[in-house]
Amino acid sequence: MTSEFHIYNTLSRKKEIFEPLNPPFVGLYACGPTVYGDAHLGHARQAITFDVLFRTLMHLEYKVRYVRNITDVGHLVDDADDGEDKILKKARLESLEPMEVVQYYMNRYHENMASLNVLPPSIEPRASGHIIEQQELIAKIIEAGYAYEVNGSVYFDVARYNKDHSYGILSGRKVEDLISNTRSLDGQSEKRDPLDFSLWKKADPSHIMRWSSQWGEGYPGWHLECSAMSTKYLGMQFDIHGGGLDLLFPHHECEIAQNVAGYGKPSVKYWMHNNMITINGKKMGRSLGNFITLDQFFSGEHEMLEGRYSAMTIRFFILQAHYRSTLDFSNEALRASQKGLEKLLKAMALLDTIKPLENSSISVKSLHNKCEEALRDDMNTPILIAHLFDGVKIIRALSEAKESITASDLDLLKSLYRTMVYDVLGISPSNAPEAENNLTGDLVEMILQLRKDAKANKDYNTADQIRNRLTQLGLNLKDHKEGTDWEIN
C-alpha cells in the first residue's frame, strides 16, 4: 500500500502525486453554482465530487481551506458576450429584484446540498460581494497591457496575451484553430478580436445590477470572479482548482490567462475536472433543457422518473462512477444504487451483532489497504465501493459464524466502514432510504416480538392482524428462518 495521494491533473493530462505547496495546509477552490435556477443532477455531481475531495484531504490529515463561490452576477447567456445577464433575464421575467431571485435560488441550493450531505465550504464568496477585488484585477491587467477599454467596457486581449504566454495551456486548444472556428464579428462589436472576452461590461440604462467603476457603471465579466476570489482567500498560488468539465473551456482557460496577465503567474498547481451527467447519451444541462432537478428526484415528480429517489441514493449513484467518467442517468441504475446502499448499510448494522472470538479467519488489514489504495488512486470511489461490497460478504459470514474475528480486528473493521462510508463517501445514514429514527426501529422490533410471541402462543389471529396493520402503515415484512426483516416503503 502506498501512502501517496495521486490525482489526475488536467494541466499535465496525467496522474500526479499530490504535493501541497505548504503542507499540512491545502487550498482548494471549486466553481459553485450560478443561482438563477434549481440545481439539477449535474450540479450535484460537481458538488459531491469536490466534497469527497475535501473529505479525502481531511481524511489524509491535511488542513484544508475550501472555497466554493456563488455566481450571482455577470454570467452572460452566451460566450459572444453580448447576451443578457442570465440572472437579470430571470428577474425581469418574474418582476423581482435580481438579488431576491439570487437569494431564493441560493437558499434552495443550500437546502439541496444539506440533503446530499455536502459539507459547507470553509468560505462561500459571492461574485456580487467582490466587485472591488475584480476591478483591481482588471486595472492590473490593463496596466500589464493585456486588456483594453472601449466605450465603458473592458476586454481581455487574447492575441496580445498569446504572444507572451500560452492561451490554451489547459484545454490544449490552439489560438489559430479557435479563430478559424469563430464567426467573424459584425460591425457592432467593440471587441478587436472574436476570441477576446469581457472583463467589465458597461451597463445599459435598463440593467439593474450595476456598480460604479473607473470605466463607468457596469458589471464584471463572468470569468473574472474566480480569479479574484480564489486569489483573495487562498493566495497568489494555491493547490487545487476544481470544476465541471464544461467549465474547462473557456472559463478556466480564461481564469489562467487573467491570473498570469494580472499577477504575473498562474495560481493553480492541480486542475481537476469532473465529467458530465448524460441523459440518453446527451449532456444534462440547463441550457439544453433536458435536466431533472434535485427536488424532482426527491419528489419523483418528473415524467422521466419512475419513482422518488432519496438524496443518499443520488449521492451513492454518483459515487458509483469515477468522477472522470460520464455517468448516464437511468431509473434502473438509480434503483440499483438504492438497493446497493441499503445492502451496505444493513451490513454495517450487522457489525454490532458480531461476537469476537480468539482468532481472525479473515484479514481486515488487507481490506483496509485495498480501500485506502482505491481512494488514493485519483479518488476511485467505484473501486472503493466494490471493496466495501466484498467486505459485506465477510460481514455476513462473520454474522453467521462462518468466519471468525478478534475483538481488535472487529474494532478495525467497524472503524474502516464508519470512516469510508460516513466520513469519506459522506453517506449520512439518517438521510438514507430505509433509515428512520431509532425510536421507530425500536417500536417496530417490539411489535415484531409481540407477533412472534402471539405465534408461539398459536394466536395466529393476532399475528395476522399485526402483519396487516404494519402493511397498512407502509412497512414490508419478510419472514425467514432467523426472524423477520422489515423495511419502510
CB of 372 to a second copy, least distance (A): 29
Work out whether 298 is an interface residue with a second copy (CB under 8 A): no
Work out whether 447 is an interface residue with a second copy (CB under 8 A): yes
How many Å from the N-terminal Cα to the C-terminal Cα in the chain? Answer: 42
Contact 267, 257 (CB under 8 A): no
CB of 56 to a second copy, least distance (A): 20
Helices vs strands, H then E, count in the chain = 16, 15
**CB-nearer residue toward a second copy: 9 or 230:** 230
CB of 438 to a second copy, least distance (A): 9
Applying CB under 8 A, which part among 37-45, 96-104, 186-194, 345-353 lies near a second copy?
96-104
**CB-nearer residue toward a second copy: 79 or 136:** 136
- Retrieve residue 279's grid coordinates: 441523459
Q: Give the relative orientation of helices 407-417 and 381-399 as an angle to the nearest 10 degrees.
A: 140
Whole-number Å distance between alpha carbons of 16 and 11: 11
Burial grade of 80 (CB within 10 A; 0-12, 13-18, 19 or more): middle
CB of 376 to a second copy, least distance (A): 27
Work out whether 152 is an interface residue with a second copy (CB under 8 A): no
Applying CB under 8 A, which part among 316-324, 372-380, 388-396, 443-451 lies near a second copy?
443-451
Contact 431, 309 (CB under 8 A): no
Work out whether 436 is an interface residue with a second copy (CB under 8 A): yes
- Cα 225 from chain centroid (whole Å): 20
CB of 443 to a second copy, least distance (A): 4
Among residues 48, 319, 416, 444, which is the contact residue for a second copy, using CB under 8 A? 444
**CB-nearer residue toward a second copy: 158 or 466:** 466
Work out whether 128 is an interface residue with a second copy (CB under 8 A): yes
**CB-nearer residue toward a second copy: 389 or 460:** 460
Work out whether 129 is an interface residue with a second copy (CB under 8 A): yes
E strand segments, 175-326: 197-202, 218-220, 238-244, 268-274, 277-279, 282-283
**CB-nearer residue toward a second copy: 249 or 486:** 486
Work out whether 120 is an interface residue with a second copy (CB under 8 A): yes
Whole-number Å distance between alpha carbons of 221 and 55: 32
Backbone phi and psi for residue 215, each to the nearest 5 degrees, phi listed first: -100, 10
Q: Which residue has the cell 475536472?
A: 273
- 371-410 footprint of a second copy as x/- string (CB under 8 A): ----------------------------------------
Work out whether 211 is an interface residue with a second copy (CB under 8 A): yes
**CB-nearer residue toward a second copy: 407 or 443:** 443
Work out whether 464 is an interface residue with a second copy (CB under 8 A): no
Work out whether 446 is an interface residue with a second copy (CB under 8 A): yes
Query: 3-state SS string over 33-84?
Result: CECCCCCEHHHHHHHHHHHHHHHHHHHCCCEEEEEECEECCCCECCCCCCCC
Q: How many residues bind a second copy (CB under 8 A)?
A: 42
Contact 109, 116 (CB under 8 A): no
105-125 core/surface letters (b: 16 or more CB in 10 A; e: else): bbebbbebbebbbbbebeeeb
Find the radius of gyration of the CA atoms of the chain.
27
In this structure, is the dihedral angle defined by the CA atoms of residues 225, 231, 237 and 243, taken in order, positive or negative? negative
Whole-number Å distance between alpha carbons of 126 and 136: 16
CB of 66 to a second copy, least distance (A): 10
Among residues 4, 78, 176, 453, which is the contact residue for a second copy, using CB under 8 A? 453
Among residues 172, 182, 450, 464, which is the contact residue for a second copy, using CB under 8 A? 450
**CB-nearer residue toward a second copy: 101 or 254:** 101
Q: Which residues contact 124 (CB under 8 A, 6 or more apart)?
A: 32, 67, 68, 69, 70
Q: Give the relative orientation of helices 311-319 and 331-350 as an angle to the nearest 10 degrees.
A: 100
Site for a second copy in 224-283 (CB under 8 A): 233
- 61-80 footprint of a second copy as x/- string (CB under 8 A): ----x---------------
Work out whether 131 is an interface residue with a second copy (CB under 8 A): yes
Binding site for a second copy (CB under 8 A): 65, 97, 99-100, 103-104, 107, 110, 120-126, 128-132, 136, 211-212, 233, 436-437, 439-440, 442-444, 446-447, 450, 453, 462, 466, 469-470, 473-474, 488
